[in-house]
Amino acid sequence: MADEFKPKILGIVCNWCSYAGADLAGGGRIQYPPDVRVIRVMCTGRIDALFVLKAFADGADGVLVSGCHFGDCHYLAGNFKGAKRMFMVKRLMKSIGLDDRRFRMTFVSASEGAKWGAVITDVVKTINELGPSPIKEFNK
Amino acid sequence: MMAEKKKTTTKKTDAKKEAPAKQVAKKQASPAATQQKPSIGVFICHCGTNIAGSMDIPAVQEYAKTLPNVGYVDNYKYMCSMPGQAVINKAIKDNKLTGVVVAACSPRLHEPTFRTATKEGGLNPFRFEMANIREQNSWVHMHDHDGSTEKAKDAVRIAVAKAALLQDLFPKTVPVERAAMVVGAGVAGMQAALDLAAAGIKTYLIESTPSIGGRMSQLDKTFPTLDCSQCILTPKMVDVGRAELIDLMTYSEVDAVEGYIGNFDVTIRKKARGVLSMAEAETKGIVGGGCNGCGDCEAPCPVIKPNEFEVGMKPRKAIYINHPQVVPLLYTIDFNACIKCGLCVTACGEKKAIDLEAKDEFVTVKVGTVILATGFDIFPIEKKEEWGYKRFENVITSLEFERLICASGPTGGYPVRPSDGERPKKIAFVLCAGSRDNTGVGKPYCSRFCCMYSLKHAHQIIEKIPGCLPIIFYMDIRSFGKMYEEFYYRIQDEGTRFIRGRVANILEDPKTKNLHVFADDTLLNRPVDVEVDLVVLAAAVQPMADTDRTRKLFGVSCTGDGWLQEAHPKLNPCGTTTAGVFLAGVCQGPKDVPDTVASAEGAASAASIPIHKGEVELEPYFATCIEERCAGCGMCVNLCPYTALALVEKDGRTVMEVTEAKCKGCGTCGGFCPGGAIWMNHFATPQIVAQIDAFLLGGGE
């Protein structure tokens, strides 16, 4: 086993709000831990529940989905539809005994660079507290 | 017919444009998206020291060489520069690459640049993927050298995995309607509409109040030149009313928006005005009728209401015009106040201009581009209770003062104390009233023009009331514009007193109604208590209340304070993230008149480009149906926010069909489809899953 736990956290974020917010955090040189890898999609509505489950099956220690605030979606209501699916994923995780704190959906707008930094810091802190995903054991 | 393609002239284009759906389905069957084995070129940018200063670029480069499907790796100091792009161009040709990954800044900044470079190298521009190692890596992990290097390796691996599965895509070209819309007819909206019309573009100018002119028409003089605001604005208002290509719709609001750049269908609600214009009367067959602005109806009207234009300091009737210079010169009935006594109808007589039973009307117009110029409102400064606005009669806002000092205002241009009508002898101006306020009550930002108009007010007082002393309480004087600092010196020389200190509290002498202004004079380092006759609060500005509703209709983002968000503050200050929607004036953030007009001209220019070009390219991120997998359940049809999807019968089966022109590529259908039958171009399920797998399973040690 590795001496130090380095969490593997996947972020799937929408192009218009959260990805832009993350870029703004960069422009503002807001510092946060480097443990999250971000994949960009056009809208959180694009995110299939299976993407999240696939990441956990692959051994992700945590998954973060982030989109526009409700009412702010670039595609009217894609984030509502995405969020509905994501809440279903959370319920599913509970019922299979996977700590649902490993998965989070947040809402960060294009103007909220500082919030993006705070969200990532908090996600990484939570996953560090929870430790490695139990699914990793099955993948060995 | 809709997929009309003029731009791309290669034979390849023609061969592929015919049936993208089928083609995709074929590719889906054989997951390797190309016949050829993928060979990806990885190009790592130093961005000077922006990236190279925070991570080990040679290590990332060595790592990239070990990745599957990578055929070429290189780095360059500035990848976006001409020589940098030449590196990409040459590598594609020399190494027969099938895809390109650039690890550099954000795709939101330079994706278009590198797509062009990819295209120049002979590849389809959509065979390009970007790894963001600056905004989301080197800049946010500046002191974690190892962490950012590892993250960059992962980012490259993820990008390569996607690039290996990318396909050729062809943007759809759509025609652009030769018309534009401007929402809001203040000085920004008017300028934008005049510019568009001058460029030969039919322009719909929508204004929610009965007259155009906006905030600027309420002002008396403008700093620093002391031009009379009405004198420079009224000719513009008349021009707008007269311009043949401007279709002016006052007392109207945007009700619904559909479509996309080039083809917006905007529904306008024309609020019931109760008064017919001459043109409207003519269409209704009333010869020589309609409102000519004579005002005969106003006199008999028994209902009295406060006049909004005069900030409530003058009365108006239920049938009214707000001031004599309104454009269009057309009366309006305030149906919330009207008691329908009919006296105005009698007074109007043969002109038959008044219809007490008028209803809201809806019209839909088609436009190619839209400019939002919804302006600002005054922060409700009574929330800052310590300054006593609305508690003490002699505490007023700057906008009220502006009307009091305006020759056409309620006092004929000679300011008086509201409590007794006396001429004030000592007036305190409180700057940053609600601006630069981090208490949570006011606004954190600088409202930008309050310093300058307060200096102007001080000048006007000295000019109009001999012996009157203006005292300005300020934190800093921000006189940043052309000739502004010179104006500040002039006001200092004229005898205005300046006290540097934020006003802590204002108390009223109940007998004289004079006010005691308490502040810390931070230059003399002592508290002061100044007795004055009148206090003018330079209240902060905030977006108009209905800006939020309007921006959501057009899909425009806003900042935490509600100001509309531009696409990029420096590189695209007039554009928004919704293609074809532009911003002008203060709705984007506080601006003085020169900046507002400049931004309006910028927005008009930007909005006219697609119209003059005649066609726009839409990003080809459409959904397509993989018919053999589609069960025809129709779940996606309900999810689509744009009614782009429909169920159709094909070969005896029910399958989904996409109307590409309506699809905006959000992927909400693809995120749900239980059968995995929807292929989202450029964000297809296999591509995203490849990214997830590449991150979590693909090496990494």
Residues of A whose CB is below 8 A from B155: 37
Mean pLDDT across chain B: 92
CA B625 to CA B657: how far, in whole Å? Answer: 6
Q: What is the pLDDT of residue B1?
A: 40
Alpha helix ranges (H) inside B503-579: 547-554
CB interface of A with B, residues 102-121, below 8 Å = 109-112, 117
Q: pLDDT, tens digit, for every residue of B140-187?
A: 999 999 999 999 999 999 999 999 999 999 998 999 999 999 999 999
Q: pLDDT, tens digit, for every residue of B381-398?
A: 999 999 999 999 999 999
Q: What is the pLDDT of residue B560?
A: 86
Residues of B whose CB is below 8 A from A37: 151, 154-155, 158, 695
Listed residue (B448, B464, B446, B400) closest to B226, CA to CA: B464
Asked if the model's pLDDT at residue B13 lies above 70, the reply is no
- Smallest CA–CA distance, residue A53 to chain B, in Å, is 11
- Smallest CA–CA distance, residue B559 to chain A, in Å, is 5
Of A37, A55, A78, the CB nearest to B666: A78
Residue A5 sits at the chain B interface (C-beta within 8 Å): no
What band does B699 get if pLDDT is binned at 50, 70 and 90?
A: low
Q: pLDDT, tens digit, for every residue of B319-371?
A: 999 999 999 999 999 999 999 999 999 999 999 999 999 999 999 999 999 99
Q: pLDDT, tens digit, for every residue of B591-615?
A: 999 999 999 999 999 999 999 999 9
Q: pLDDT, tens digit, for every residue of B634-688?
A: 999 999 988 899 999 998 999 999 988 788 899 999 999 999 999 999 999 999 9
Q: What percent of chain B has pLDDT over 90?
A: 88
Of A26, A46, A85, the CB nearest to B666: A46
Check B671 against A58: CB less than 8 A apart.
no
Residues of B whose CB is below 8 A from A4: none
Both tokens of residue A110? Answer: 């294009």
Asked if the model's pLDDT at residue B572 lies above 60, the reply is yes
Tell me which chain B residue has its CA closest to the CA of residue A47: B671
Mean pLDDT, residues B440-467:
95
Both tokens of residue B523? Answer: 């230059």
Q: What is the pLDDT of residue B35?
A: 56
CA B44 to CA A21: how far, in whole Å? Answer: 23
Q: Could you tell me how many CB contacts below 8 A there are between chain A and chain B? A: 155
Q: What is the pLDDT of residue B32?
A: 41
Integer-rounded Cα Rg, in Å, for chain A is 15
Cβ proximity of B620 and B126 under 8 Å: yes
Mean pLDDT, residues B283-287:
89
Q: What is the pLDDT of residue B19?
A: 39
Q: pLDDT, tens digit, for every residue of B24-62?
A: 444 443 334 445 789 999 999 999 999 999 999 999 999
Q: What is the pLDDT of residue B515?
A: 97
Q: What is the mean pLDDT of each run of 10 residues along chain A (140 residues)?
A: 81 95 95 97 96 95 95 88 94 94 95 95 97 86
Residues of A whose CB is below 8 A from B552: 71-72
Buried b (16+ CB within 10 A) or exposed e, B516-542: ebebbeeeeeeeeebebbbbbbbbbbb
- Smallest CA–CA distance, residue A42 to chain B, in Å, is 6
DSSP string spanning A60-122?
Answer: -SEEEEEEPPTT--TTSSHHHHHHHHHHHHHHHHHHHT--GGGEEEEE--TT-HHHHHHHHHH
Check B670 against A46: CB less than 8 A apart.
yes
Asked if the model's pLDDT at residue B310 lies above 80, the reply is yes
Residues of A whose CB is below 8 A from B638: none
Q: What is the pLDDT of residue B2?
A: 41
Give me the residue label for tokens 């389905």.
B25
pTM of the model: 0.86
Q: How many C-beta atoms surround the C-beta of residue B130 within 10 A?
A: 25
Q: What is the pLDDT of residue B616?
A: 93
CA A37 to CA A28: how far, in whole Å? Answer: 19
**DSSP letter at B423?**
P
Q: How far apart are the first and last CA of chain B?
A: 52
Residues of A whose CB is below 8 A from B556: none
ipTM score here?
0.96
Check A26 against B135: CB less than 8 A apart.
yes
CA B146 to CA B412: how far, in whole Å? Answer: 71
Mean pLDDT, residues B540-564:
92
CA B399 to CA B42: how far, in whole Å? Answer: 59
Q: What is the pLDDT of residue A139?
A: 78
